[in-house]
Amino acid sequence: MSLSKLITEISTRKDTFNAGELDPEYEPTRAVYSHPGERVVFKLKGGSEWLCISNLVRDRRDLYSLLGVGSDQEYYEKFLKAFYNPSSLEVVDFGEYYKKADLSLRDLPFIKYYREDGGRYLTSSVFIGCWESVCNSSFHRVMYISEEKATLRIVPRHLYYMVRKSHEQGRDLPVALVLGLDIFQEIAAASNPPYGVFEVGIGAALGGSNKVVKTPLFGIPVPVEASLIVEGVISREEDWEGPFVDILGLVDEKRRQPVFKPLAYYVSTRNSLVYHAIVPATSDHFFLMGSPREPLIYESVRKVAPGVTRVRLSRGGGNWLVTIVAIEQSYRGEALNAALAALTGHPSSKIVIVVDDDINVDDPFEVEWAVATRTKPGEDVVVLRNARASTLDPRSPEGVGDKLIILATRPLGEPSEKYRRVKPP
């Protein structure tokens, strides 16, 4: 289902808050914080045609419902199958799906979410670029500068590599800025597969359409379900980007970043102009950024601990820095192996807590109880120093920091009854 059709269907539900027209400065954020248990649908004041949705993924149940799975195991298996077996893509006629539009960056749904932000932002913008024979689809926040240019944050991953190679040859990199993708393509764009694997094929394998169009100027493949395509270049020019409130609710610094320059705009002839307004440091942000990592952690842990049952990136860690792994132990040392494998599966994790499978990983009380009753700090707490880390962690300057492992599992050499939490009679 396209995002356009999904918003139309969601708008009629009782658990949706139709907020009407909102000022693009702070009001979408206020609406989301005031209605955390509801999807929020709105338009932006000023005659904007864009229909926006926030809180699309309020919790794990929403994510699994949108993906058509009923359990953690189903999700892990479905994601991993798509991740390693992307669908072949069918190229269809561009003119059947898109038409050129007389727009500028001013017409896009830029929003200022927090007082600390350096300007108005697009937060669900996906950039698709190709270098030589490799194409990449990935999320990048975009800050409005003027009608003709914006800055985007690019961390050192695949698009960064493409931009660097292009700029080294004295050329701007052609890209397509894409808005209004479906949930399958959004998750795929956040998945970061090995270089050379096109994320659009992963999104198609997850359940989306495998049809793409080639953009008129540069022949960039874009999913046909998108609401808007903006062809342009990531130029060799730089400008200021930020500050910006990140997934942890902290203020990311102001820095020089590449400038995006639009060249042509195309609107869908089959879907209305819709936009997923991801409010930073809220559930949409948490689940779309973190959920593609959980199956990869699960796969890594399963290689050394076949009894792994559940993996969670916790909300307190922004669904990024704190990993909780539940296992059914088979041998001594397995919990530590599981923790090390979790760090391999998600190197950005700062803290890994391993618990037994009787602990509910979604309940912070139970996890803390396991640490309180099953951890012996002198034996079960490990600190790894100066490892690869996340730049989101303010205590890991330049992406190098310490890791903490907490083993909160029952000692296999002692009676299990000693560590069993009683239930109400």
Whether the per-residue pLDDT at 1 is higher than 90: the answer is no
Quote the pLDDT of residue 90. Answer: 98
Residue of 72, 246, 284, 380 with catalytic role: 246
The overall average pLDDT reported for the chain is 97
- pLDDT score of 385 more than 90: yes
Quick count: other Cβ atoms within 10 Å of Cβ 344? 15
**Residue 197 above 90 pLDDT?**
yes
Q: How far is CA 254 from CA 40, 142, 151, in A?
A: 30, 13, 11
Per-residue confidence (pLDDT) for residue 44, from 0 to 100: 97
Give the pLDDT confidence score for residue 209 in this predicted structure. 92
Helix axes 293-302, 334-345, angle to 10 degrees: 140
Amino acid 49 reads: E
Is the pLDDT at 208 greater than 90, yes or no? no
Contact call for residues 203 and 183 (beta carbons, < 8 A): no
Per the annotation, the verdict on 402 as an active-site residue is no
List phi, psi (to 5°) of 225: -80, -5
Collapse the DSSP code of 68 into the 3-class scheme (helix H, G, I; strand E, B; otherwise coil) and give the result. coil
Mean pLDDT of 304-317: 97
The per-residue pLDDT for 109 is: 98
Q: How confident is the model at residue 56 (pLDDT cuts 50, 70, 90)?
A: very high
Instruction: Give pTM, 2 decimals.
Output: 0.95
Average pLDDT of the segment spanning 242-267:
97
- pLDDT > 90? residue 397: no
Which tens digit of pLDDT belongs to each residue from 162-185?
Answer: 999 999 999 999 999 999 999 999
Q: How far is CA 1 from CA 17, 183, 271, in A?
A: 21, 9, 11
